[in-house]
Amino acid sequence: MPEAEALIDQEIPVLDKGFVRLVDYLGGDQRIVQSARVSYGAGTKSYREDRGLIHYLMRNEHTSPFEQVVLTFHAKMPVFVARQWVRHRTARLNEISGRYSVMRDEFYVPRPEDLRGQSIDNKQARSDEVVPGADALAQAIQEEQGRSYKTYETYLGKGLAREVARINLPLSLYTEWYWQIDLHNLFHFLHLRMDAHAQYEIRVYAEAMARCAQAVAPLAYEAFEEHKLGAVKFSQSECAALVALLEGREPELVGRPRALFETKVAKLRAAHAVEAPEDPTPPGD
């Protein structure tokens, strides 16, 4: 794939000092359709038929042909991002060793505009409001990192083993690894980590890897966007509420389920710029 070849060995900058680099890849859209058609003894057909097949596979969760495509990344990220990233067990990785190497004086310093307050409605998220004194806070974070690194150097200077000297280094320290994953499981990772609920600092890595996946397998990525990334999942009662909305009736959901449903409907409307219909509840009802 010329688009993917152009990305090989190029560092895509992420955060202040991190990156994602596509090391290499195996297969692409053609491998997906060839492996899906193996039972019929046929390989690739026309572009139109291949595209239709890839969409069919994605739509129907026929996932194994996507596992035939493999991507290897070299990525550099803060330790707290790596902690979230490593939860995805279907990848193979090798990380720099803090027992073997002296860790570099490289820490993630958030931009002041990313220093936002605690979200009130989501205990795991930040709000849209930048905290007062964000510039001074960013400065304080950086100074504390500097003190931690100086202490680390002092411990090393006293002859302490690297594996122990590192234990008080903060989560903002940069680490790096080689990470290899098949396309099906990469899409699963991207679906979770490109979501608005994922932490900003891992989302930007997911976006960089999405660029690589799109270059390696553009039709598969198109199908992923169509059937997974751009799709919204509704529960059974939310489906009933949707039907009510379509029929101009008031949905029966109340309280938090109603609020969650409305958030999803608002996401749909925002994504597709659909005007909200007039309030279906008759005046005085």
140 vs 146: CA distance, rounded Å: 10
233 binds ligand FAD (CB under 6 A): no
Task: Match 């090798």 to its residue by tokens.
Answer: 94
89 binds ligand FAD (CB under 6 A): yes
Phi, psi of 209 (to 5 degrees): -70, -30
* Residues β-bridged to residue 5: none
63 binds ligand FAD (CB under 6 A): no
Residue 18 burial by CB count (10 A; 0-12/13-18/19+): exposed, middle or buried?
buried
70 binds ligand FAD (CB under 6 A): no
For 6, the 3-state DSSP assignment is: helix
What is the 8-class DSSP label of residue 276?
P
Looking at 21, 31, 166, 193, which residue is catalytic?
A: 193
Q: How far is the CB of 262 from ligand FAD (least distance, A)?
A: 20
Residue nearer to ligand FAD on the CB measure, 134 or 192: 192
90 binds ligand FAD (CB under 6 A): yes
Q: Give yes or no for a contact between 24 and 190, defined as CB atoms under 8 angstroms apart.
A: no
Q: How far is the CB of 199 from ligand FAD (least distance, A)?
A: 7
Q: Which amino acid is at 123?
A: K
Residue 193 bears catalytic tag: yes
Residue nearer to ligand FAD on the CB measure, 90 or 235: 90
Q: How far is the CB of 125 from ligand FAD (least distance, A)?
A: 9
Provide the annotated active-site residues: 193
Task: Give the residues lining the site for ligand FAD (CB under 6 A).
Answer: 87-90, 185, 188, 192, 197-198
